[in-house]
């Protein structure tokens, strides 16, 4: 299935970097820990980092009811962006310096989720995106916690994916001139060793859903 | 020097996470590779990832003149956000799951830089943020490349910094109940081994400004 091609999801330059497959969109979203949500407040844009989760073609984010952080009006236009930096691209010229990256940009109204089953499913998706296995391991939210949480759904109907990979795109004269290094310095996000909560009983073992995230 | 406390930079909850020192703001900005810039287009927010650089209390971003990517009108309100994810916070309850992070949110009009000296300085700051040492090593932009580049300046006058560190904040009954793991899984951004451009002469050595970024 292809992604939409509305005016704002059609890249105006570097079209070769645009991906049009829905699987690419899902892959970029599923690989992230944090998204950046753009809102309009008092006529100005505001961009806030937050966790998120995906179920099929819907992304979920949550805020605190009545709080300023991620305060979204039901139906307000938002933009949700997830970016992975994969490498620093060193070129012979300053002009061709670049980044290798994957980014997904989702546009749409933020729908306030009012159905209790969808709210719980959305929260589960958000928690499982950040910490797979936690929903089963941890205590589920109680009525008071759910009442304090607002969940918003954004449809993936209007979204674009942009990807840059590979070596720099230097101009021929710069390559021919020689004497300057060019290449890619890969950038990776890795997990460090788990730091147990100080209030845990001594000798508590790290559960598999946490330990499994560490490199073998 | 303290940061401003306008309505939109005063955090409405979790105030203990707010930092008010300008040095904290500079530190969060200086540690990043990518920012997310929020703009308003046709009444809706748009959030795009891009490189950036800082000189004193000004952040610079660049776009391509006439291009859709990061097309900003001179004086348009923007929001520039830099986020570092430092850890996944596992709690006994789903509700207290969280992230350790540092984020800086800058609000202000984007000023189109027209002074050639400032444009060059802004570009240098952007390149040096992404790839320290590259401005000296690589070929500087020529007149044609400069003409194709639009540089925007955003003042740091109105900005906020939010930081979460440390273990989860579980409720006492959940701690007392036992049986569930809690702690932090650190998240780090690391560089991998340099991948030389295929067009480099065989045996080209990696220059110090690139090699020095790798862990000893």
Q: Residues A106, A53: contact at Cβ < 8 Å?
A: no
pLDDT at B90 over 50: yes
Q: Does A176 touch chain B (CB under 8 A)?
A: no
List CB contacts (< 8 A) between B122 and chain A: none
Domains plus CATH for chain B?
7-211 (2.30.110.10)
A130: nearest CA partner in chain B: B88
Q: Does A67 touch chain B (CB under 8 A)?
A: yes
How far apart are alpha carbons A48 and B64 in whole angstroms? 25
**Which structure tokens are listed for A10?**
């059609």
User: Number of H helices and number of E strands within chain B?
Assistant: 6, 12
What percentage of chain A carries pLDDT values higher than 70? 88
Confidence of residue B69 (pLDDT cuts 50, 70, 90): low
For A153-194, write each residue's pLDDT tens digit.
999 999 999 999 999 999 999 999 999 999 999 999 999 999
Burial class (CB in 10 A: 0-12, 13-18, 19+), A129: buried
Q: Does A174 touch chain B (CB under 8 A)?
A: yes
List CB contacts (< 8 A) between A77 and chain B: 43-45
Most A-contacting residue of B17, B49, B120 (CB-CB within 10 A), to test interface: B49
Q: What does DSSP assign to residue A83?
A: E
Q: Give the closest of B90, B134, B195 to A94, CB-based.
A: B134
* Angle of CA points B43, A63, A56, to nearest 5°: 80
Query: Given this model, what pLDDT does residue B19 score?
Result: 64
B48: nearest CA partner in chain A: A81
* Of the ranges A167-181, B12-26, B64-78, the best mean pLDDT one: A167-181
If one counts every other C-beta atom within 10 angstroms of the C-beta of residue B117, the result is: 8
List CB contacts (< 8 A) between B195 and chain A: 87, 167, 183-186
**Which structure tokens are listed for B214?**
């790798």
List CB contacts (< 8 A) between A144 and chain B: none
For A44-101, write each residue's pLDDT tens digit.
999 999 999 999 999 999 987 765 567 888 899 999 999 999 999 999 999 999 999 9
Q: Give the closest of B92, B93, B138 to A91, CB-based.
A: B138
């Amino acid at each position: 299935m292809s992604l939409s091609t509305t005016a704002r999801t059609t890249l105006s330059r570097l079209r070769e970097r645009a991906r049009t497959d829905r699987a690419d969109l899902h892959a970029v979203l599923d690989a992230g820990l944090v998204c950046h949500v753009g809102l309009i407040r008092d006529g100005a844009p505001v961009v806030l980092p937050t966790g998120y989760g995906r179920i099929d073609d819907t992304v979920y984010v949550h805020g605190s009811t009545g709080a300023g952080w991620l305060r979204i009006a039901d139906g307000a236009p938002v933009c949700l962006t997830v970016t992975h930096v994969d490498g620093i691209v060193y070129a012979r010229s300053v002009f061709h310096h670049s980044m290798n990256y994957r980014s997904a940009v989702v546009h749409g109204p933020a729908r306030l989720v009012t159905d209790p089953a969808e709210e719980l499913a959305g929260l589960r998706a958000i928690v499982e995106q950040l910490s797979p296995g936690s929903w089963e391991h941890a205590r589920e939210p109680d009525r008071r916690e759910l009442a304090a949480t607002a969940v918003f759904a954004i449809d993936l109907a209007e979204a674009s994916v942009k990807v840059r990979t590979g070596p720099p795109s230097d101009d021929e004269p710069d390559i021919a001139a020689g004497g300057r290094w060019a290449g890619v310095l890969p950038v990776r996000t890795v997990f460090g060793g788990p730091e147990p909560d100080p209030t845990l009983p001594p000798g508590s073992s790290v559960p598999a859903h946490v330990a499994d995230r560490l490199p073998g």
